[in-house]
Every structure is written in structure tokens, then in C-alpha cells.
Structure 1
Amino acid sequence: MALLLGCSTPNDAFDPSKPHHRPGGFVNLHPAAQGEEAPGFWRWQWERWRADLPPDRPDRVRSAQPDTAYLKANRGDISFTWLGHSSALWQLGGLNILTDPHLGERASPVSFAGPRRLTPAPLPLAQLPRIDVVLISHNHYDHLDAETVRALAAQPGGSPLFVVPLGVEKWLADEGITRTRRLDWWDRFELEAPAGRVTVHFVPAHHWSSRSPWDRSATLWGGFVLQAAGAGEPFSLYYVGDTGYAPDFAEIGRRFGGFDVSMIPVGCYLPRWFMQTQHVNEEEAVKIHRDVKSRHSIGVHWGAFRLCDDPIDAPVDGLPVARENLGVPAEAFVLPVLGQTRVIRRAAP
């Protein structure tokens, strides 16, 4: 017990006026189990070892040849390129923005064990355009990969700006990455962009954080809202991060009034008794789409790593059923194609 307490991480951003702050870390805004504690985890592992789980079908994760020439030349179009799991390249306001970059082979603290990538990353870092901003939603291994962020920080032309939840900047500093901006829920700041201005907001999600047995929820987690203003029509983007379903999304929809595009997780949700408080299934993802008043949504957090009991291709079947059950048109909430660039809006001539 003394060892565990000695390894705990105090919250140097603690603000007693904020309900999600605690002296030792953070909590969700709404009552629920914080991701199920150790007894639930070991029960899940025991049941998983005994279960006959459905196999993964990586061949059902559609892929396309990336258009690297377009990505490097684009300065004005708003575009989206899925790099697998929750990693995506957004080109917005003339900026190249990465979400939760993970291009490594395993989502694990070690290189020789743990969930391995079942579909190849469509682009190595060297073929990406120079990255200006990296958005990290939380510190779990499938969203924050040490090898990937170190390589990004060492890219030619200088490190991107890493925008992170409270506390994650200290981990990055230990990795030698100091160009960071840390945010609490509802914080905002402006990025000067070549094609206008991009405002970055950090918003709540219902999740938790950890990179070891001793730092549970010591750093914050959440999602990002990006609002771009320039010569053309304003554009709003919402990246949910990892989350269970909660009233947070109705509040986000109320505050922002809707989004042009949302990135919403749709995978890694079984067994429900264990995952429900931390990961949404496809039907809950469609509910988030409606709650936040998203005009178009893209399903992420699937197709790369087998992290839960559902196979990596489960959303291929599950999302169409969820859309139909909730009366959402097929074109309003889609699954991306690995490596394919979707031009969301062309630059004004």
C-alpha cells in the first residue's frame, strides 16, 4: 500500500471549484463506475480466456491507396484521411492536424506483447505532410503511442504543437517533447492558420486514463471541437475521443449548436457489463450523433487492434443496424476507408 501511494500522481491542476477535479486526479461528471476496477477486469480476462470469441476479419476493413501528392499539395480544401483506429489526418484552415496518432505495431507498453495491428497503417510518417498540430484525447496506449509521437516531434521543420488534456504534458516532457498546450474541459484557444483561424476547444467525455497500475485517472481525458473561420463558410469539427454514453453529449450539442462533421467511436464495446461505462457501441454512437446535432459523422476506434471481445470488423455489420433502428440515413453516419482521403469541402476558387 505504501508503494502504491508513493507512486500515485498528485493533480497539480487541482481546482476544488470544478466537479471533475480531485487532489489525485479526475472523475467523470456523471455517476458511473470508473471503467470497472481490478476485480471486474480479472473477471473479464477469465471469461475471455474461456470464451469462443468470433474471429477478426481484417479483409472486411476496406482500404485504398493514399493520395500522398494531394495531401502534400493541399492548402485550402478541408479533408479527412483515416489512418486506422482513432488516428486521422485532418487538413483544416491550411493546417495538417493529427488525432491520437498511433502508427506502431502494438497498442501496448511493450513491443513484444499486447494487441497487435491487424491491418497495416496506410502511410508511414515519412509520407505524411508536415504535421502542424497533434490532438491527444487521453493517454491509453491505443491513443498515445510513444514511438509515433517521438517521431512526430523529430519531423523535419520542427515539432508540431501537441494539444493534450491536463497532466499528459508531463508524460510528453519525459519523452523530450515540450511544445505542448494543456487543456481542461471547456478550455479554448486559437491557432493562427494559413487560411484563417482555428479555435480549439476541449470538452468532456465519459472515460478514464492510465498508463500503469499506479496512475489511474491521474490525467484528464476528453474530446476536441475545432471551429475554422476564414474566407469561406465557417466549419465545425468534433472528435469525441473514447467514451461511454452520458448526458455530456446533449450539453455539448446545446453549447455548440451542432457540427458539420463528427468523429465518433464505434468499436471495442464487448462485453457490455464491463465496457459500457467506457466505450459506446454502434447504437450509442448514433445517439451521440443525434445528441450533438452532427450533420455528418464518421465512425472510428475500430479496424486495427483487437482490444475487446468484439472483432475489429464488427461495425461493418453493427453500424447499419444502429442507423436503421434510430432512423438515421446511411449517408449521415459512415465508416471510413483506410488510407482514403475524403474532401469534405473544396476551397473557394
Structure 2
Amino acid sequence: MIISRRRLLGLVAGAAALIGVPSFWFSRMKTYSGPVSDHFDGLRFFDPDGSPPKSLREVLRWQLGSGRQRTDWPVWVPSPYADTPPARVDGARVRLSFVGHASWLLQTAGLNILIDPVWSERASPVAFAGPKRHNDPGIAFDALPEIDVALVSHGHYDHLDVATLSRLAAKFSPRVVTPLGNDVTMREADGAIRAEAFDWNARVELGPGVAVTLVATRHWSARGLFDRNKALWASFVLETPAGKLYVVCDSGYGDGGHFRRVAAAHGPLRLAILPIGAYEPRWFMRDQHMNPQDAVKALFDCGAAQALAHHHGTFQLTDEAIDAPVIALGEALDEAKVARERFVALKPGQVYEI
């Protein structure tokens, strides 16, 4: 098969957004160094209960294979909602606004917290290729209240968006809490980003009555071909006046052990935010992304009273249709005899309050 240089760069940038395999010239970042642990061998991080990332050969098999079945998304699918958040939310109330993909604004106890903030047009290392937005962020950047903290789960381009973090640093100078090594990426790009890096199981005070614990998740991380797993990845357990919230930004399901361990260590959980998209083809995605059936199992495992869905409908990273995750979530809930109101998929700009 002969493909053009631009097409090749587009494939490379798309893969970079999801699995961190752009061409070598995209990988110039400095990387983490630190003591050996039960999930760091001195050079790379690993999940003792996970799976290694796919090889470049497997990436090319998926991207260029003759049997690939990719459903093209509509060019533009605007959300009918747009949120203008209040300046602050005080007391025991929690206000969650869905920005899109894996980005959220959480307001509680007088704090404004962004999770995996991405306002860029593309989730990609380059501006001209790679996954492009299919709808606007649910909150316009200029409508954001003063941001106190940003939580960034890992280094993939659809979660760690340096351009957005730089804009936030220039306007609000928030703390940025992230797993080990991602702070190196941020500071290399912009020294004004106030990155603080932590290991799994670290608990970080964010304000009166609010803290976050970084917990293991079944995933991996990279920004380029030569830095795979040289920075850590994590999910978040947030302690709020309304209860504990479990935010899973990216994860495969595996045997469900990660979710059961969070339930044992941090339960009871008031709410879980669980990914439901970017899952086809399953032979490639199973170890790093849950499908809706997996997400329903994860809800049972973690025991959260309520769940919200994300990681769908904004950036096309994989092969399923734009509406497939939400449709499949409803079917999975019906099959498991769980009320659909217990696990809700919002559109960008919609708000959920506790």
C-alpha cells in the first residue's frame, strides 16, 4: 500500500493522541528519573496487574489492515448545551460540568477544579493532523471561573494538553496535580505551569475539606516513540464535603481488580466518573480502554452509588460510531438490570449536581 506523506503524518498523529507513537521527531521531552519501586524499574513505569502497550507493528496492523471497519463520524456534532458556571460553589454541594471527552469542571467547598482540561482544536502533537474536535467545549474558555487546581491523569494528548495548561497558567496560575514524570513534560513546555507530581496512593490536600488521592489504573502513558511509560498514569479519588468521587480518566477493565481495590481502600464512593468510549477494535483496545459493558462491571466493582460517563463523542480516536458508546451503555445497563438513571452520559455543557 502506498500512502502520501501527509496521510502518514495524519496516521502517526492520530496514534500519538491515543497511544503515544508519533515519529521520532515528536519525542524530544526529558523524562522522569527516581528510585525503583514496585511499579518503576528505574527507567519505566509498569502496572504489575496490567498489560504492556501495543507494539508499533500492532498499531500499523490496526491502522492499515485490510479488514479494518472504521465508522466515520459527522464533521460537526454540536451539543445543544453550554454552561456558564458560577464563580464558586460553597458548602457541601458538588457541581460537575461536562466540558467534553475527559474534561470536567468540579466546583465544591469554594474550590474550582479542572480534570484533564483540553480546550485545543486537536488532541495531537501537531496542529495540522490528528483527532479533531467534533463539538465545542461545553464551557467556553473565557467563561471559566477562576481555576484553583487542575488534575492531569497522564501524558496522552487527549488528556495532557500543554496549550490549554499554558492558557490556564497565564490566566489563573492554578496548581497542577499529576502523576510522576508528567510535570517534566509540562515544565519543558512552559515554566509557568505550576506542576506538582505524585506517586500512586499519594494523598494531596487541595483545600479545606477537599483532597485527592492518585490511584493505580489499568493504562499506560507516552508522548513519543521513545518515552513509553517514562511517566506515570493514574485515576483520582476526590474527597469532598458531599462524599468521595472516583474519577477514572482512562482504563482497561482486566479482571476488575483495580476497581475493587479502590472500593476496599476508599469506599463508600458517592460517584464514579467512568470512560465508555474509544474501544474498537477490541483486540487492540481491550487492555487500555473499557467498552460500555466493561464500564458497567466497573461500576459494580467500585460500588459507587451513581456514575457519569465520559471519554466519548468529542475526539474520534478509534473505530466505533460517535453514538455507539451511549447506545451500548443503555443496553449494558438494561442487561445488568441497572436503572439507566444510575449511570448517565451527559453531553458537553450539561451539569450534574450532588
TM-score range, shorter chain: 0.7 to 0.9
The answer to whether the aligner puts 1:268 opposite 2:278 as a matched pair is yes
Matches within 5 A, 1:169-248: 169-174=183-188, 175-192=190-207, 196-229=208-241, 234-246=242-254, 247-248=257-258
Would you say the 8 A contact 1:302–1:312 is kept in 2? yes
Partner of 1:37: 55
Partner of 1:281: 291
Q: Which runs of 5+ in 1 are unaligned?
A: 345-349
The answer to whether the aligner puts 1:303 opposite 2:313 as a matched pair is yes
SS at 1:22 equivalent:
coil
Structure 1 residues 170-218: Cα deviation after superposition (integer angstroms, max 9, x where no partner): 11111223422211111112122xxx32121000011111111110010
Mapped to 2, the partners of 1:257 and 1:122 lie a distance apart of: 30
Would you say the 8 A contact 1:166–1:183 is kept in 2? yes
SS at 1:303 equivalent:
coil
The answer to whether the aligner puts 1:317 opposite 2:327 as a matched pair is yes
Q: Equivalent of 1:85, from 92, 95, 101?
A: 101
Task: Report the CA distance between 1:329 and its aligned residue.
Answer: 1.5
The answer to whether the aligner puts 1:21 opposite 2:48 as a matched pair is no
SS at 1:290 equivalent:
helix
Task: Report the CA distance between 1:21 and its aligned residue.
Answer: 1.0
Task: Report the CA distance between 1:12 and its aligned residue.
Answer: 1.8
Mapped to 2, the partners of 1:243 and 1:235 lie a distance apart of: 23
Mapped to 1, the partners of 2:349 and 2:147 lie a distance apart of: 17
Name the TM-score, length of structure 2 as normaliser. Answer: 0.87
Change in Cα spacing, 1:88 to 1:124, as seen in structure 2 (3 Å) is: same
Structure 1 residues 21-69: Cα deviation after superposition (integer angstroms, max 9, x where no partner): 111120112152x12111111100112x764522325787753132x2x
The answer to whether the aligner puts 1:12 opposite 2:24 as a matched pair is no
Count of matched residue positions in the alignment of Structure 1 and Structure 2: 326
Mapped to 1, the partners of 2:57 and 2:282 lie a distance apart of: 16
Partner of 1:347: none
Provide the aligned C-alpha RMSD in A: 2.2
Task: Report the CA distance between 1:337 and its aligned residue.
Answer: 2.4
SS at 1:225 equivalent:
strand
Partner of 2:345: 335
Mapped to 1, the partners of 2:167 and 2:32 lie a distance apart of: 28
Mapped to 2, the partners of 1:60 and 1:317 lie a distance apart of: 16
Mapped to 2, the partners of 1:278 and 1:180 lie a distance apart of: 25
Q: Which runs of 5+ in 2 are unaligned?
A: 1-23
Q: What is the identity percentage for the equivalent residue pairs of Structure 1 and Structure 2?
A: 36
Task: Report the CA distance between 1:125 and its aligned residue.
Answer: 1.5
Mapped to 1, the partners of 2:347 and 2:195 lie a distance apart of: 31
Mapped to 2, the partners of 1:148 and 1:8 lie a distance apart of: 18
Change in Cα spacing, 1:326 to 1:160, as seen in structure 2 (3 Å) is: same
Task: Report the CA distance between 1:295 and its aligned residue.
Answer: 0.5
